[in-house]
């Protein structure tokens, strides 16, 4: 009777040990599955967050380009490109200053520049006038840069067939000729460059909008 009790006790201990070993293996497997799931979820969240940030930057870049083009159009309508003329010179042709050419006293630098808080006294972003620069970098557009290119509307070079090709340099005069001092219609290109995050690291992407622009009606009518 005593031996039988001892035997049952030994078997019970062995069974408990066996059950304990199986539970440990199951626990390890469960933890591995849990970790794999957690890492997958974290990776998905990281990708989703990156895509969201990139989409927000793209939206900011588009809004900035449209805002700048609207500012140019408004000042063109007022015949005030580069500043409102004195009352005695209200028919002064300021349309000629819608240019990248220094010889025409153009107001737009041909290179990309930071985005400042204020458009400055001329009320147009990207002209780099002293009031604009002194306003400081706009924190909404940190690491953003922009430029305004002015090109002739009368060209057979075919460059505007490639105006949405970021690898094609529209600022190169041999690719896209600048406007002449007699052009009454100009092609205005607003470009905004912003940082784009990707798996291999960050890169720069460019948003651009293009429009044709004529002299303001008041200048054409001479009133």
Number of residues written out for the chain: 223
3-state secondary structure 49-112: HHHHHHHHHHHHHHHHHHHHHHHHHHHHHCCCCCCCCCHHHCCCCCHHHCCCCHHHCCCCCCCC
Q: How far is residue 41's CA from residue 207's CA, in Å, rounded to a whole number?
A: 32
Task: Please state the rounded mean pLDDT for residues 52-67.
Answer: 93
Assign residue 105 a region (left: φ > 0; alpha: ψ between -120 and 50; beta: otherwise).
Answer: left
Which residue do the tokens 């010889």 mark? 103
What is the model's pLDDT at position 223? 46
pTM over 0.85: no
Q: Over pLDDT 70: what percentage of the chain?
A: 74
| 207 three-state secondary structure | strand
Beta-bridged to residue 188, according to DSSP, are 150, 211
pLDDT digit string, tens, across residues 134-180: 999 999 999 999 999 999 887 655 666 665 566 677 777 777 888 88
| 201 three-state secondary structure | strand
Q: How far is residue 192's CA from residue 111's CA, in Å, rounded to a whole number?
A: 11
pLDDT digit string, tens, across residues 62-120: 999 999 999 999 999 888 898 877 777 777 788 999 999 998 899 999 999 999 999 99
DSSP at 127: S
As separate numbers, helices (DSSP H) first and strands (DSSP E) second, the chain gives 3, 4
What is the model's pLDDT at position 34? 73
Closest by CA to 144, choosing from 193, 177, 94, 211, is 193
Residue 127 predicted with pLDDT over 90? yes
Q: Over pLDDT 90: what percentage of the chain?
A: 38
Domain ranges of the chain: 58-221
Q: How far is residue 11's CA from residue 172's CA, in Å, rounded to a whole number?
A: 89
């Amino acid at each position: 009777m005593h031996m039988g009790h001892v035997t049952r006790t030994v078997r019970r201990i062995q069974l408990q040990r066996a059950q304990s070993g199986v539970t440990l293996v199951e626990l390890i497997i469960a933890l591995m599955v849990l970790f794999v799931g957690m890492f997958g979820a974290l990776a998905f969240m990281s990708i989703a967050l990156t895509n969201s940030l990139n989409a927000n930057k793209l939206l900011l870049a588009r809004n900035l380009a449209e805002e700048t083009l609207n500012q140019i159009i408004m000042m063109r309508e007022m015949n005030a490109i580069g500043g409102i003329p004195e009352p005695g010179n209200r028919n002064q042709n300021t349309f000629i200053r819608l240019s990248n050419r220094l010889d025409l006293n153009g107001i737009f630098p041909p290179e990309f520049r930071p985005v400042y808080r204020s458009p400055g006294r001329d009320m147009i972003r990207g002209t780099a006038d002293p009031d604009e620069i002194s306003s400081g970098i706009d924190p909404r557009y940190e690491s953003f840069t922009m430029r305004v290119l002015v090109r002739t509307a009368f060209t057979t070079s075919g460059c505007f067939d490639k105006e949405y090709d970021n690898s094609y340099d529209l600022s190169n005069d041999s690719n896209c000729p600048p406007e002449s001092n007699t052009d009454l219609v100009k092609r205005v290109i607003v470009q905004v460059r912003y940082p784009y995050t990707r798996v291999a690291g960050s890169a720069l992407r460019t948003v651009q909008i293009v429009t044709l622009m004529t002299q303001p009606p008041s200048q054409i009518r001479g009133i």
